[in-house]
Structures are given as structure tokens and as C-alpha cells.
């Protein structure tokens, strides 16, 4: 999420994946994929930088998780993996 400020005051968090377009008219107008529009205080260049930093942080976090030794390790409560690495979930319990 990125935090931006409405033209009339309060700040709010916005999911940048929902932004369809942003315009500078001269106020910055954000149009979401559902057609909602927000007029914000931040200039267009700052909005673009906020989105870039957000996406870079998502990629950096994913990379650090992928290189962490416990990432993908089997946990006692997780289903077993077959030879292809896919999780195998039994449909029926095995009776003792």
C-alpha cells in the first residue's frame, strides 16, 4: 500500500495495483480500475516514485523470502510433496 493525501485533507492508503491511470490536471487525479477517482495533494512525479518504491519493496521481500533457509521447507502441519515438488493431499484418511 502507498499513502497519499486527499486534496481536502485526510491521508489514506491505496493499493497501487488498482491504479488504471494518473493525470496531472494541474491537480493529480488517480483513476482506479473500477472508475473511482481521487484527487491528491502529491504531484504526479511523487506518486510515480511511491509506486516504484512499493513495487521494488515487494520484489525485494519476495527475493529475501526465497533465499531464506526455511522458505519452502516442510513443516509438520504441511502436506507431503511428491517427486515433482507438488503438494499431495490425501482424499481419504488411512485407517490404522
Domain boundaries in the chain?
A: 2-69
Can you tell me the distance from the alpha carbon of 28 to that of 13, in angstroms, rounded to the nearest whole number?
A: 16
Can you tell me the distance from the alpha carbon of 82 to that of 32, in angstroms, rounded to the nearest whole number?
A: 42
Strands 28-32 and 19-24: antiparallel
pLDDT over 60 (residue 37): yes
SS3 54: helix
3 — pLDDT class (breaks 50, 70, 90)? very high
Whole-number pLDDT of residue 29: 98
Can you tell me the distance from the alpha carbon of 31 to that of 70, in angstroms, rounded to the nearest whole number?
A: 40
The residue-averaged pLDDT of 71-75 equals: 58
Name residue, grid cell 488504471. 20
Backbone angles phi, psi at 24, to 5 degrees: -115, 110
Amino acid at each position: 500500500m502507498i499513502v497519499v493525501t486527499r486534496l481536502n485533507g485526510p491521508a489514506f492508503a491505496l493499493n497501487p495495483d488498482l491504479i488504471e491511470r494518473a493525470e496531472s490536471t494541474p491537480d493529480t487525479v488517480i483513476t482506479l480500475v473500477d472508475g473511482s477517482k481521487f484527487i491528491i495533494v502529491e504531484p504526479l512525479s511523487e506518486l510515480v516514485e511511491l509506486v516504484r518504491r512499493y513495487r521494488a519493496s515487494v520484489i525485494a521481500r519476495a527475493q529475501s523470502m526465497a533465499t531464506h533457509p526455511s522458505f519452502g521447507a516442510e513443516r509438520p502441519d504441511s502436506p507431503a510433496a511428491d517427486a515433482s515438488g507438488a503438494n499431495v493431499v490425501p482424499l481419504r484418511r488411512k485407517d490404522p
